[in-house]
Each structure stands twice: as structure tokens, then as C-alpha cells.
A and B are shown apart, each in its own frame.
Chain A
Amino acid sequence: MNDKQRKISSVLLGLFLLLWLIGIFLGEPTRVLEQAKSICLECIGIG
């Protein structure tokens, strides 16, 4: 990993951490949890 790749990795980590935090700020985890708690009928081939 050269310096350029290390910089890109750092920028990407920062960017995705920011996106993750924005998601939390917007309340997305609640929605994700609601979805994950219920059976996704499409996922199992029904509905």
C-alpha cells in the first residue's frame, strides 16, 4: 500500500463513517430494525 492508496483509504473511511453517522442522525437504524424484525415475505419467495 503506497501513500496514495493510504490516503484514499483514509478518505473512504472518513466518508463512510460520515454517511453512517448521518444515517443514525436521520433515524434510519429504527427503520432498519423494524424491517429486520419482521419476516420479509419477498425474501423467502412469497408475496
Chain B
Amino acid sequence: MQIARKWIQILWIFLVNGFWGFPFTGNLYQGPLKIICSPGLNCYSCPAATTYCPIGSLQQLLLGIRFSLQTGKYYVGTFVIGWLGLLGTTFGRFICGWACPFGLFQEVLYKIPSKKYSIPPLLNWLKYGFFVFFVVVFPLIFLDQFGLGKPWFCKYVCPAGTLEAGIPMILLMPDLRTTIGFLYINKLVILIGFTIWSVLASRPFCRTVCPLGAFYALFNRFSLIQLQLDKDACTNCKACHKVCPVEIKFNETPGSGECINCMKCMTDACTFDAIYITVAGYKMIPAKKKPAVVPPQ
């Protein structure tokens, strides 16, 4: 199952970054597919991107909301929030575990042999702050002399944008190199920081900063597709705790907003059929189990 998940993650990278003509056109994809929302965090300024980034688009709509309203347009973000909500209500954080390019980037880095560290659970709350303030509030309230806000998350934080767009666009468009300044260096430092952290800890960006993950986390208890626990079958052997990449104790907190639904606990740990998938409340057959590998205490 985990091999299938890797292939699905790779497939999603190519689905949302399917324009490989950019070295010849010298520009990013500008076709009609960009009306489709990327489910995972994928910068729409990536030259190969074929979909729009919901976090980037939401900020762009909110920062220009006054201008839109003054010109009689009601671009308040309902289209983007609608997309996000439909994805969240259907899949919850399955998207993080199965369809996010930046999530896969961190998973690959974590495979590099090194001493591994856990992330204090308190830091998990930060991502909600990033969503509320950097994506919604700051673009709305901090305005320039023209009455326009800034895309705070994209501009000052997003390492996915630096990796997928910042570096490739600078390589693709030599003219842009002369404009590199503090902002670019700042974003490069953030990307390097998360790259190193991803080697040392599992999915640090998803767990502490990602505003998209924060939004989807709100739906983990109500999404149509869910990972569920059969409390009667659970023996509290804690095998699920040991394999979880986001360090949650699934049998104690099923439906946690932190769970990225990678299903490692179901397929690689639980031998008691205590963890299963439901689709709209209907139980799906659990995958065939491997024997639990529980290191001696």
C-alpha cells in the first residue's frame, strides 16, 4: 500500500505540473487548465504548473478585495473557498498524504539517514495561525498607498513557491536575476531551513506551517473518506504509534486533524483489523496485513 501511495504522489506531481514545454516557450503554462484547483500545495508560478494554487489565489483575491468592490466586481474568494471546502469535505487530509508535491519532497528528504527528532505537539498549532493571519487577515488589513494588500504567505514564507517557482524561474528568465534582493534570499533561507529540518524530522512544514494542511485538518472528522478505529478490535498494543509519520497516537485520537491519512498504521502496523477506511460512512475492507513490527521496549 505504501508503494502504491508513493506512485500516486508521483502521479499527482505530474498531474499538477504537466507542462513540460516551458524550456522551449521560456514561460509558464498559460492554458485553460489553470482554472482547476491544485489539491496540494503547488505554486502556480512553477513553469510546469497546470493548476492554480488555492492558497496563492485566495490571498490574491483578498488583497485586491477593496479594488474589486469599488469597480463593481464581487471577487471575495468564494470560488476558491468553495473548491477548498469541497476537497476538504470529501478527502480531508488524505490530500496531504497522497497528493501534495511538497509533502512528498519532505518524505524523500526524511529517508536520508541521520539522527531523527520529534516535533513538539505545541508547534502543530502554528499552522492555524499562518492560515488565519498570513493568508486571510494580513492581506486584508495591511495595504499600500494604492489600497492593495500583499500575499503575505507567498511573499514571506512559502518554501514550496521558492522550490517550484523561485529557483526555476530565475534559471529560466535571466532578466529576473537582476531583481534578486532581500526577499529572495529570505525565502531561500526558509527553504534551506525546511530542507534541513525535513531530513531531521518527519514532514515539519506540513505539521507546523502549512496553511492548506490547517484548512484540511478542520475536515478530518467530517470528511466523506476517513480512517476509522474499531475500538473493540484495538488491543492498545501501540504499534500504530510507532509507524506514524506525524507522531499521533491513532488509537487514542482517531480523526485527529494532524493525521495525514497515509494509512501506514493500517497497512504496516495494526494486525488486529482495528483500523479501516470508511467512504461516506460505509466500511471498506481493510488491506491485507503485514505482521506488526514492534521493537522491544
Q: Which residues of A contact B (CB under 8 A)?
A: 1-2, 5-6, 8-9, 12-13, 15-24, 26-29, 31-33, 35-37, 39-40, 42-47
Contact = CB atoms under 8 A, between A and B. Distances in A.
B103 to A, nearest CB: 19
Nearest to A44: B166
The 7 closest A-B pairs by CB, nearest first: A23-B79, A20-B82, A16-B85, A19-B82, A45-B184, A28-B79, A36-B34
Among A21, A24, A35, A45: residue with most chain B CB under 10 A:
A45
14 contacts: A9-B223, A12-B89, A13-B90, A13-B224, A16-B84, A19-B78, A22-B79, A26-B76, A31-B61, A35-B52, A36-B57, A37-B34, A40-B60, A45-B186
A19 B85 contact: yes
Contacts of A1: 226, 228, 278, 280-281
A47 to B, nearest CB: 7
B82 A22 contact: yes
B181 interface: yes
A25 to B, nearest CB: 9
B80 A28 contact: yes
Contacts of A37: 28, 30, 34
Interface residues of B, number: 65
Contacts of B158: 43
Interface of B: 28, 30, 32, 34-35, 43-45, 49, 51-53, 56-57, 60-61, 68, 73-86, 88-90, 150-151, 154-155, 158, 161-162, 165-166, 169-170, 176, 179-181, 183-188, 219, 221-224, 226, 228, 278, 280-281
B162 A44 contact: yes
A43 B56 contact: yes
Contacts of B280: 1, 6, 9
A43 B165 contact: yes
